[in-house]
Amino acid sequence: MKYSVSGLAVVLVLILIEHPLLIQSYSFWFGMASLSGLVLSRPLWRSVSVFYGTLVGLYCLLHFFVLVDGMITPYCVYSILAIAASFEVRVKSDRLLYVIGFLGCIQAVLSQMSISFFLLILTQYSLLAFILLSIKKLSVANEEAKHDKQTHVMEYRALSRQLREQELNTAAKERNRIARDLHDSVGHQLTALMMQLQVVELQLQSMPEQQALVKQTKDLARNSLQEMRESVQALQQDSAKGLDAVIQLIRKLEAESHVRIQLVTKPGAMSVKLTDDQSVAVYRFIQEGLTNAMRHAYSREVDVTLEVKGEHSYALTMSNRVHESRAEEGFGLRNLRTRFTALNGRFDSGVRRGQFIIEAIFPITQQTKE
Contact of 318 with 350, CB cutoff 8 Å: no
| Rounded CA separation 288/294 (Å) | 10
Per-residue pLDDT at 107 exceeds 50:
yes
Per-residue pLDDT at 170 exceeds 90:
no
pLDDT reported for residue 315: 93
Is 146 within a domain?
no
| Percent of the chain's residues with pLDDT above 90 | 6
Q: Do residues 365 and 248 share a domain?
A: yes
What is the SS3 assignment for 178-200?
A: HHHHHHHHHHHHHHHHHHHHHHH
Domain end point (choices 236, 255, 274): 236
Is 159 within a domain?
no
∠ Cα 187 191 194 (to 5°): 140
Is 215 within a domain?
yes
Domain end point (choices 113, 140, 157): 113
Pick the most confident of 18-27, 64-73, 338-347. Answer: 338-347
DSSP alpha helices (H): ranges in 183-330? 188-203, 208-236, 243-257, 276-296
Per-residue pLDDT at 178 exceeds 70:
yes
Q: If pLDDT is split at 50, 70 and 90, which confidence band does 369 have?
A: very low
User: In this predicted structure, which of 89-93, 101-105, 152-156, 280-284 has the lowest mean pLDDT?
Assistant: 89-93
Over residues 159-172, mean pLDDT: 70
| Alpha-carbon distance values, 245 to 46, 140, 200, 238, 279 (Å) | 45, 42, 49, 9, 9
CATH of the domain at 314: 3.30.565.10
pLDDT in tens, 115-126: 777 777 777 777
User: In this predicted structure, which of 14-28, 176-190, 263-277, 293-307 has the lowest mean pLDDT?
Assistant: 176-190
Range of the domain at 76: 2-113
pLDDT in tens, 263-312: 888 888 887 888 878 888 888 888 888 877 776 655 678 889 999 988 78
Q: Do residues 7 and 105 share a domain?
A: yes
| Rounded CA separation 364/269 (Å) | 12
User: Which residues lie closer than 8 Å to 86 by C-beta, 6 or more apart?
Assistant: 94, 96, 97, 132, 133, 136
pTM exceeding 0.75: no
Q: Do residues 50 and 69 share a domain?
A: yes
Per-residue pLDDT at 370 exceeds 50:
no
Contact of 242 with 278, CB cutoff 8 Å: no
Q: Do residues 213 and 261 share a domain?
A: no
Q: How many independent structural domains does the chain possess?
A: 3
Q: How much helix, strand and coil, in percent to the nearest 5, is found in the chain?
A: 70, 10, 20
| Rounded CA separation 68/141 (Å) | 41
Per-residue pLDDT at 90 exceeds 60:
no
